[in-house]
Amino acid sequence: MSTTSLEVDVAIIGAGTAGLVARRQALTHGAKRVLLIEGAVHGTTCARVGCMPSKLLIAAAEAAAAIRDASIFGIAPNQPQIDGAAVMARVQRERDGFVSSVLESVGKIPEQDRLHGWARFVGPTQLEVATTAGSVQVAARAIVVAAGSAPHVPTPLRELGERLLTSDTIFELPTLPRSIAVLGAGAIGLELGQALAQLGVATTILGNGTRMPLLKSQCMQSEARTLFEHRVDLQLGIREFAAVPVADGVRVSWTRADDQRREATVEYVLAATGRRPQLARLDLHRANVELDERGRPRGFDNRTMRITDTAIFFAGDITGERPVLHEAAAEGRIAGINAARYPDVRAHVRHVPLAIMFTDPNMAVVGTIPGPEGEGEAWDVGEVDWSDQGRATIIHQNHGRARIYANRACGTILGAELIGPRVEHLAHLLAWAIELRTTVPQALAMPYYHPVVEEGLRTALQQLGRKIEMAPKPHPLDCGPGT
Ligand SMILES: Cc1cc2nc3c(=O)[nH]c(=O)nc-3n(C[C@H](O)[C@H](O)[C@H](O)COP(=O)(O)OP(=O)(O)OC[C@H]3O[C@@H](n4cnc5c(N)ncnc54)[C@H](O)[C@@H]3O)c2cc1C
């Protein structure tokens, strides 16, 4: 095998969202030669196995759920006829469309600026890339590590072979399974588990923790747990999970929180047991980077994306901080700009935290959520209960609750936790309001159409306004029915 060497301004490890954005930004900000290195297939986690196929599956599940719910509106009660092969065919067809648009843009990158192979550090600014044509030694002025994350599968589960699914493999199934045990009740486990259940798959979601994902406050935790335990077979606080392959699937057993032992035979087990940053292959210790006990670099600054005192920048899921798409893009941007400018590195303002789960109902968290001890002091909270909100009742999605937090002294909105009808959109309104440093009175002075779920936000804001004593006079339209 031959060894060649390359000298570049910026080398980027990983052609996911963060890496692709970093490349574009590095070029725009003065780097002449930028090398993009990808070890696996191109197409990004988001398009191939993440956001897009999962939301396609959820869209099918929502269609099935709408048919089941139709009788409430006086429309002939119907059980949806679910063609599992057709459901998966659409997921794959549309997913392939998203992937091919990524492949198209990767295809436009000149070949001499791309390498296909796994990269590892051999010095502070030197990499070795194992390509099929041999090893390539890369020397760079700065390096962006955008190596993403991968599903973490507990060792005993690996023995299940093809009966074990992860988010990397589930979207390849030719048809929907008959039954599945989803191990892990985090964002991915709940989203996929609930969608499969709505699509008629006998689904049990098992979580060893007792908390629901995203939500912080105790009351939102209980609200979410009660709601989801009624909608899906969700069992939290389980222990002693075991899975053994049998002729027709997998025999799973576990101990419930109430000490009862349960078992079932399922066609597949879906391991939704978290994702881990892909650090192992990188040999970061050879870059003179100080590592913690889990192999993560110490001294990472999330405003510059730089690892202190190095020419190395991290971006995207590899940071282990905000594993969502828009943050991977934002971090890729900062890392790309700073890698091009290195050593003249600048700090950037980060977005307000925003995370959404596309469950039914949606869950979301925005901004800063105070701990219990913070609530009585500088914070106040306003609530809306969707059960009697006008628009939510009209569309028969009157479930859940939202809590909005504001700074008591100056009235700015600081954060929110939401479960309810299409709160994916309300979470955005609040994130934008927080980024613009909007106060509660300013938010209340905005127009609210009637009847819309946004009026529910106004209810919570009005409550907050009364608490912080900064509320404007009520507007006549505040008095529409069911707001
Ligand atoms: C099922 C699922 C659903 C999701 N849903 C959402 C959602 O609805 N909304 C949302 O915002 N986010 C969602 N996410 C998260 C989102 O997909 C990720 O946050 C985002 O894709 C991360 O992008 P990235 O660039 O950091 O990593 P990636 O896109 O994973 O790119 C990293 C790349 O680096 C390559 N690589 C790794 N190591 C090396 C090496 N040593 N040498 C060369 N190449 C290497 C990998 O092969 C990979 O291609 C979801 C994720 C999953 C799994």
Structure confidence by residue, pLDDT tens digits, 395-443: 999 999 999 999 998 999 999 999 999 999 999 999 999 999 999 999 9
Beta-carbon contacts of residue 358 (< 8 Å; ≥ 6 apart): 54, 55, 58, 191, 424
Per-residue pLDDT, 472: 54
Nearest residue (by CA) to ligand 1, atom 21, is 46
Which 8-state DSSP code applies to residue 311? S
What are 7's strand-pairing partners? Answer: 139
Mutation test residue for ligand 1: of 51, 194, 281, the one with most atoms within 8 Å of CB: 51
* 39 within ligand 1 shell (Cβ under 6 A): yes
Structure confidence by residue, pLDDT tens digits, 241-256: 999 999 999 999 999 9
Per-residue pLDDT, 77: 75
The C-alpha atoms of residue 312 and residue 216 are separated, in whole angstroms, by 33
Contact 364, 426 (CB under 8 A): yes
Mutation test residue for ligand 1: of 46, 56, 99, the one with most atoms within 8 Å of CB: 46
* 281 within ligand 1 shell (Cβ under 6 A): yes
* 44 within ligand 1 shell (Cβ under 6 A): yes
The C-alpha atoms of residue 207 and residue 251 are separated, in whole angstroms, by 17
Alpha helices of 313-415 — where are they, by DSSP H?
A: 325-341, 372-375, 390-394
Structure confidence by residue, pLDDT tens digits, 349-395: 999 999 999 999 999 999 999 876 555 568 999 999 999 999 999 99
Ligand 1 atom nearest 192 alpha carbon: 1
Contact 238, 438 (CB under 8 A): no
Contact 382, 411 (CB under 8 A): no
Tokens 């869209």, located at residue: 59
Confidence of residue 479 (pLDDT cuts 50, 70, 90): very low
Which 8-state DSSP code applies to residue 230? H
Q: Is the pLDDT score of 24 beyond 70? A: yes
Per-residue pLDDT, 372: 67
Per-residue pLDDT, 482: 57
How many Cα neighbours within 13 Å face the side chain of 457?
30
Per-residue pLDDT, 395: 97
* 235 within ligand 1 shell (Cβ under 6 A): no
Confidence of residue 98 (pLDDT cuts 50, 70, 90): very high
221 exposed, middle or buried (CB, 10 Å; 0-12, 13-18, 19+)?
middle
* 151 within ligand 1 shell (Cβ under 6 A): no
Q: Is the pLDDT score of 92 beyond 80? A: yes
Confidence of residue 478 (pLDDT cuts 50, 70, 90): very low
* 329 within ligand 1 shell (Cβ under 6 A): no
* 465 within ligand 1 shell (Cβ under 6 A): no
Q: Is the pLDDT score of 154 beyond 60? A: yes
Q: Are strands 300-301 and 306-307 parallel, antiparallel or unpaired?
A: antiparallel
DSSP 3-state assignment of 468? helix
Q: 361 CA to middle of ligand 1, Å?
A: 25
Q: Is the pLDDT score of 474 beyond 50? A: no
pTM over 0.85: yes
Chain centre distance of CA 356: 7
**What's the one-letter identity of residue 182?**
V
Average pLDDT score over the chain: 95
Ligand 1 atom nearest 40 alpha carbon: 47
Q: 401 CA to middle of ligand 1, Å?
A: 31
The C-alpha atoms of residue 136 and residue 13 are separated, in whole angstroms, by 14
**What's the one-letter identity of residue 223?**
E
* 360 within ligand 1 shell (Cβ under 6 A): no
* 147 within ligand 1 shell (Cβ under 6 A): yes
Q: 192 CA to middle of ligand 1, Å?
A: 17
The C-alpha atoms of residue 414 and residue 393 are separated, in whole angstroms, by 28
Structure confidence by residue, pLDDT tens digits, 201-235: 999 999 999 999 999 999 999 999 999 999 999 99
301 exposed, middle or buried (CB, 10 Å; 0-12, 13-18, 19+)?
middle
